[in-house]
Amino acid sequence: MAEAKTLDIRNLSIGVGEHSVVDGVDFSIGQREIVALVGESGSGKSLTALSIMGLLSGSVRQTDGTATLEGEQLDLGNDTAMQKLRGTSLSMIFQEPVASLNPLLSVGAQVAESLIVHGRATKADAWDRAVGMLRDVGIPAPEQRARQLPSELSGGMCQRVMIASALIAEPRLLIADEPTTALDVTIQAQILHLMRRLRDETDTSVLIITHDMGVVASVADRVCVMYGGRIVEQAEVHELFAAPRHPYTKLLLATIPRMDGARKTELFSISGMVPDVSAWPEGCRFRTRCPLATDHCASRPPLEPVGEGNDHVTACWHSDKVEGLA
């Protein structure tokens, strides 16, 4: 038998009030793998990530599904059990590094915190390891920087601090929710470079949540495309960009202005907009905007392998016609 997946998600479903916002999501992440969950706003990608951390709250509830971390089933609804895992086996970084850090605590203390809270090191030892971690993520003069407050650091530095505090406990899985969206492009390039290095040099697997196909192309090994609370396509990254087999993926890639494309021409666009969660159509949820839609699409297409092997899956009745689109 193959080694246990770092993370295995089966039939994950999430509801807000009476509405289903994430519906039967399946995916897994192998060791040292970077998997991207990509989609537009309202696709359910961030809720999927929060649920894996056991961080759903209020009227947002998990309604179905299981998650296993290295073969061990996670009790996502049990906050006490999940609290033990957060900061040890599971870590998460968010879009707004400055807002995610405590403004009154030195960044060194924040990086060291999870080691101390979980009783894995003495204060002095944790501080030394925090300084080492800050150095590893590329913060110059880490001994001095560790004593500074977040407000004394730039946004890019704060995101490095976030990454350092997420990685210090050597988690099995790092979840990064839009980690570079709030950063400038030259700083984004530094952080993406760092994430690739971490994948190569540590045993941590990464789930990255993003709307940016450039970020996906830069760091992901495998990609799950979400639309309307479901995964509509999943493939190895080169395969996904070269030969997308779901019309949404194909059209999404075609709408992005290219650095080498024609200028001032009409860009390809997807007609309409993502329907509100209360108005999702029966069957395929993309069918109201899809140029390939037929009556058949009123029944839900299963996520099935396309091409050779089982690595590339898509949920579309017309996946054989996608190539001719756009």
Partner 1 sequence: MSEPLLSVKGLKVHFPVATGKLFGEKPVVRAVDGVDFTLNKGETLGIVGESGCGKSTTGNAILGLAPVTEGAIHFDGRNVAALTGRERQALWRDLQVVFQDPVSALDPKRTIGQSIAEPLAIHGVGKADRRARVDELMELVGLRAGQRDRYPNELSGGQRQRVVIARALALEPRVVICDEAVSALDVSIQSQVLNLLLRLQRDLGLSYLFISHDLSVVRHIADRIAVMYLGTVVEEAPTDALFARPLHPYTEALLSAVPIPDPRAERAKTARPLQGDVPNPMEMPPGCPFVARCPLREAGCDVIRPAPVEVAPGHRLACHVREREITGASALDTTG
- Contacts with partner 1 by CB under 8 A lie at 40-41, 154-157, 184-190, 192-193, 211-218, 220, 237-238, 241, 251-253, 255-259, 261, 263-264, 266-270, 273-274
Cβ nearer to partner 1, comparing 129 with 245: 245
Nearer to partner 1, 56 or 235 (CB): 235
| Least distance CB 210 / partner 1 (angstroms) | 10
Residues in the chain: 326
Query: Do residues 218 and 192 lie in contact, with contact meaning Cβ atoms separated by under 8 Å?
Result: yes
Pairwise CA distance, residues 275 & 81, whole Å: 36
Q: DSSP string covering 89-145, please?
A: TEEEE-S-HHHHS-TTS-HHHHHHHHHHHTTSS-HHHHHHHHHHHHHHTT-SSHHHH
What's the min distance (Å) between Cβ of 123 and partner 1?
Answer: 30
Of 53 and 237, nearer to partner 1 (C-beta) is: 237
Give the DSSP letter of residue 295.
Answer: G
The residue type at 219: V
CB of 241: closest distance to partner 1 in angstroms? 6
Half-sphere exposure of 293 (CA within 13 A, CB side): 17
Smallest separation, CB 133 to partner 1 (Å): 19
Q: What is the DSSP letter of 86?
A: B
For residue 121, the minimal CB distance to partner 1 (Å) is 30
Judged by beta carbon, residue 32 or residue 268, the one nearer partner 1 is 268
Nearer to partner 1, 57 or 186 (CB): 186
